[in-house]
Amino acid sequence: MRGRHRPIPWADSTAPALPADDRALLADTWRRRARAEYLAISTFSVLSMDLCAAGAPADVLSLVHRSAIDEVRHAELCVRLAALYGGGEAPPPAGMSDLPDDPVRPRREQAVANALLVSCVAETVATVVLATLRQDVTDPVVKAVLGVIYADEVSHARLGWSYLTYNLRAGGDRFKEVAAAMIPVAVRGAANVVDAPKPEDATSPLRKAHGFVTAGEERALFAHTVREVLAPGFEALGISPGGIVEAFGEPWVARAS
């Protein structure tokens, strides 16, 4: 967690030494990540409204607002990395995400469901992907940026798991039902992001050193997260994860590729 305060050694980037085609691919990779981080700003902003409406504890509200600010920084870091590889520092396109909204649903149930979607699932998947990427990265700038983002994402994931646990203790079986109904929806939504079109290029050690991952590798990581992290995590809280392990197992990975 100390990594979130680590300075970025921008002057030590090894990007200028890369061939032009590698730099172009990596610039596109970091631009896509910048767009995702930019959208996450609004995701946490919308979630904060759900949590406020539900009367969430002050520490949870503090974390969700800090998370939105973290995502601003993440987007800025990714934009600057894209510029290192592609020569232009263009901001992400304007836009915002939304979350499921049912006006007749009890506010606390909506807050629990959306916190599960955003933090327990999406941010937990992000922590696994980032932790794995960092193992192969050797470029000092990319490694530092991933370290900062990873440290923040751990906190973002904890937000959802802690709020879910808080409500399970207070509301018991009803919130288990709310969570169980949202799990397959949330995991499918995260899988759709993973399946979005990306370069399916073989990952050379050179590109891995700068944070590139193929679409196939990302799908395999997603399946691993569902099997080894998400399903056991929900089961430990007494919540049935449904059929997410079967839905996103090896056959899904093979079919998607």
Range in 5-9, 154-158, 206-210 with the lowest mean pLDDT: 5-9
Please give the residue range of the domain that contains residue 210.
19-91+106-256
Range in 151-155, 160-164, 211-215, 227-231 with the lowest mean pLDDT: 211-215
The model's confidence at residue 1, banded by pLDDT at 50, 70 and 90, is very low
DSSP the chain: -GGGGPPP-GGG--GGGS-HHHHHHHHHHHHHHHHHHHHHHHHHHHHHHHHHHTT--HHHHHHHHHHHHHHHHHHHHHHHHHHHHHS--PPPPP--------TTS-HHHHHHHHHIIIIIIIIHHHHHHHHHHHHH---HHHHHHHHHHHHHHHHHHHHHHHHHHHHHHHHTHHHHHHHHHHHHHHHHHHHHHHTS--------HHHHTTT---HHHHHHHHHHHIIIIIHHHHHHTT---TTHHHHTSHHHHHHH-
Structure tokens at 19: 């061939």
- Give the pLDDT of residue 199: 63
pLDDT above 90 (res 102): no
Over residues 197-220, the mean pLDDT reads 80
- Give the pLDDT of residue 125: 96
- Give the pLDDT of residue 214: 86
Structure tokens at 138: 């050797």
- Give the pLDDT of residue 203: 64
Residue 203 lies in a domain: yes
**Each residue's pLDDT tens digit, 25-44:** 999 999 999 999 999 999 99
How far is it, in rounded angstroms, from Cα 137 to Cα 146? 9
Mean pLDDT of all residues belonging to the chain:
91
Over residues 126-139, the mean pLDDT reads 93
Task: Count how many domains the chain has.
Answer: 1
> Dihedral of the CA atoms 28, 143, 40, 82 (nearest 10)?
-30
Residue 210 lies in a domain: yes
- Give the pLDDT of residue 256: 53
b/e per residue 117-131 (b: at least 16 CB within 10 A): bbbbbbbbbbbbbbe
Residue 98 lies in a domain: no
Residue 97 lies in a domain: no
**Each residue's pLDDT tens digit, 106-116:** 999 999 999 99
Residue 11 lies in a domain: no
How far is it, in rounded angstroms, from Cα 223 to Cα 246? 10
DSSP 144-187: HHHHHHHHHHHHHHHHHHHHHHHHHHHHTHHHHHHHHHHHHHHH
- Give the pLDDT of residue 195: 82
**CA distance readout (Å), 160 to 2, 119, 120, 222:** 20, 5, 5, 19
Residue 13 lies in a domain: no
- Give the pLDDT of residue 171: 84
Q: Which of 142, 166, 170 is nearest to 33 (CA)?
A: 142
- Give the pLDDT of residue 144: 95
Residue 155 lies in a domain: yes
**Each residue's pLDDT tens digit, 172-181:** 889 999 999 9
Quote the pTM value.
0.92
Residue 101 lies in a domain: no
> pLDDT > 90: what percent of the chain?
77
Residue 51's domain is classified under what CATH number? 1.20.1260.10
